[in-house]
Amino acid sequence: MLSYTYVTDIVRHADELEILRNALDNISDGVLLLDADLNAQYMNQKVRDYWGLSEAQVAAHPSYAEIIAGAPHANARGIPPEQLDAFFAARVELARTPGARDTLTPDGRHIRVHCAVTPNGGRMLTYCDISDLVRSAEQLEKLATIDSMTGLFNRRHFLALAAAEWSRFLRYQRPLSMLAIDVDHFKSVNDRYGHAVGDEAIASVAATCQQCKRASDIVGRIGGEEFAVLLPETDPEQAAIVAERIREKVAGQVLFAHKVRFGMTISIGIASATAGMSGIEALLRPADQALYQAKAEGRNRAVQWTPPLVPKFAAE
């Protein structure tokens, strides 16, 4: 007995499914489909590569817990063995939680994982490599905060960081000092050797400020050849020591331009915060005043700003 059944629709659907599988295997994102028990129903090539799964493992429809625990990089983060079970359990729980999260892989890639609930109660996880996006964001942030010539904070970001320190000064009444630094006779360097050499001179002073600063200090380029150093937890006497260290190191350096050796000096103004000041700009102003005084007194020196005396009125 012969029987004939139309399988045209079955063949067509199989062909369409194969086309869909091939398409998913060639997209840049990873796709992982889990059933309601978090067992793998489908994973494209990106996911198979990411988790290091063989064809036999894929065919066995492993659970999500088995996938993450058996991955070659499962413990590349250096988690102690006794904490691994808890770590994997937390990862599985995340797979049940709809939404997006970002993770950093052991090889330094930034992956955005998005979890969506499927009609059968399962989950669809998509993995998108956003490393280029993160790097671009970091580069934009760097361009917005860093002076490209010196690598120091630019004026805007320096003042923003300094404002945060000012808030701590007001809250805890701990000492806070500021150095205003300017390169002596900088115009003559530009005129004699050219702007390229002038740029090298600025970069040299910036490097010295970085080398002499402490971990908590903040250094910024706030003008052409002008720098500022904020010194948290630093009283006037300590600030003078830091200023002198920077001044001496700059004065002891020798630069070369057009086969000519030349040196530089800097002038430094020092000011320390007082309770009556209105903000970080009010601390920078007296540091600038002391800097102008250092210039007037012959340059290559550090001058301490002295708060004006408060007049005493006789009691009536």
Q: CB atoms < 10 A from the CB of 215, how many?
A: 4
121: tokens are 């109660």
| Closest CA relative to residue 150, chosen from 195, 196, 197, 200 | 200
Q: Rounded to whole angstroms, how far apart are CA atoms 250 and 230?
A: 18
Q: Rounded to whole angstroms, how far apart are CA atoms 165 and 171?
A: 10
Angstrom distances, CA of residue 201 to CA of 105, 219, 256: 42, 17, 10
Q: Catalytic annotation on 225?
A: yes
Yes or no: say if 44 and 27 are a contact pair by the CB < 8 Å rule. yes
Q: Exactly one of 16, 141, 165, 225 is catalytic; which is it?
A: 225
H or E segment and range at residue 114: strand 110-117
Q: Rounded to whole angstroms, how far apart are CA atoms 163 and 160?
A: 5
Q: Rounded to whole angstroms, how far apart are CA atoms 50 and 74?
A: 11
Active site residues: 225
